Structure 1
Amino acid sequence: MDFTFTAPLWEWESRAAWYFVSVPEEESADIREVPRMPSGFGAVRVRVTVGTSTWETSIFPESATGVYMLPVKKAVRVAEGFDDGDPVTVHLELVDL
């Protein structure tokens, strides 16, 4: 199952230097509905492509809203030239289904 969306990059206030892109509500709801084995913290393994960068990671549901948060590591931010608040187009593929 694949998703493509654009959302702003944001810095987590509680943990400086941790950056995320929030998966939109509709896509987050669709991801929650996909049957899979339970995992810690509700994490979902994904393969992500942003620009020319592709990597595997996990997305995690944010406790207050339930939308998933995609961590974006520094190497990707630097390679793609992203800064806080920039719109990021994400191609996200669920793995381990």
Structure 2
Amino acid sequence: MAEFEVDVPLWRSENGSWVFGSLPFDVADEIDDVTRGRQGGFGSVRVEVTLGPTTWRTSLFPDKGRETFVLPVKKAVRTAAGVDAGDVVRVHLRLVDV
């Protein structure tokens, strides 16, 4: 089972309602290699994520414009960790259902 510890810059979507983190290119490439042919709808990859005190399951989504995967980070998680768009956060990712 693949696991990663990465620093992720958080940014707000154009409409301002979502906050995402962009994975480092080398990690995105490795995840793409490991999950190729087993990705979900829209190329999504199921992950378990830990950020600060919170662990949750979500999906990574490919972002062709940034050439990486992006991680949606909901408000409750950001609030619990005391972070928001513009911060760089350390997250632990574990691929699930692979």
- Shorter chain as denominator, the TM-score bin is over 0.9
Gaps of 5+ in 1: none
1:24-43 correspondence to structure 2 within 5 Å? 24-35=24-35, 36-43=37-44
Matches of 2:79 and 2:92 in 1, distance apart?
18
User: For this pair of structures, how many residues does the alignment match?
Assistant: 96
Output the CA distance in 1 between the equivalents of 2:31 and 2:83.
25
Label 1:8 to 1:38 Cα distance change in 2 as closer, same or farther (>3 A): closer
- Gap regions ≥5 residues in structure 2: none
Matches within 5 A, 1:12-31: 12-13=13-14, 15-31=15-31
Q: Conserved in 1, the CA contact under 8 Å of 2:61 and 2:70?
A: yes
Moved over 6 A (4+): none
- Identity fraction in percent: 48
Inter-partner Cα distance in structure 2 for 1:76 and 1:20: 12
Please list the CA deviations of residues 29-86 of structure 1 after superposition, one character each: whole Å capped at 9, or x if unmatched: 0000014524211000000000111000000010223300000000001111112211
User: CA separation in 2, counterparts of 1:38 and 1:82?
Assistant: 29
Aligned counterparts of 1:86 and 1:65: Cα–Cα separation in 2: 18
- Local SS of the residue matching 1:75: helix
**Partner of residue 94, structure 1:** 95
Q: TM-score, normalised by structure 2?
A: 0.91
2:67 paired residue number? 66
Counterpart contact for 2:62–2:68, Cα < 8 Å: yes
CA distance in 2, matches of 1:83, 1:28: 22
Q: Distance in 2 between matches of 1:78 and 1:17?
A: 15
Normalized against structure 1, the TM-score is what?
Answer: 0.92
In structure 2, how many angstroms separate the alpha carbons of the residues matched to 1:23 and 1:76? 17
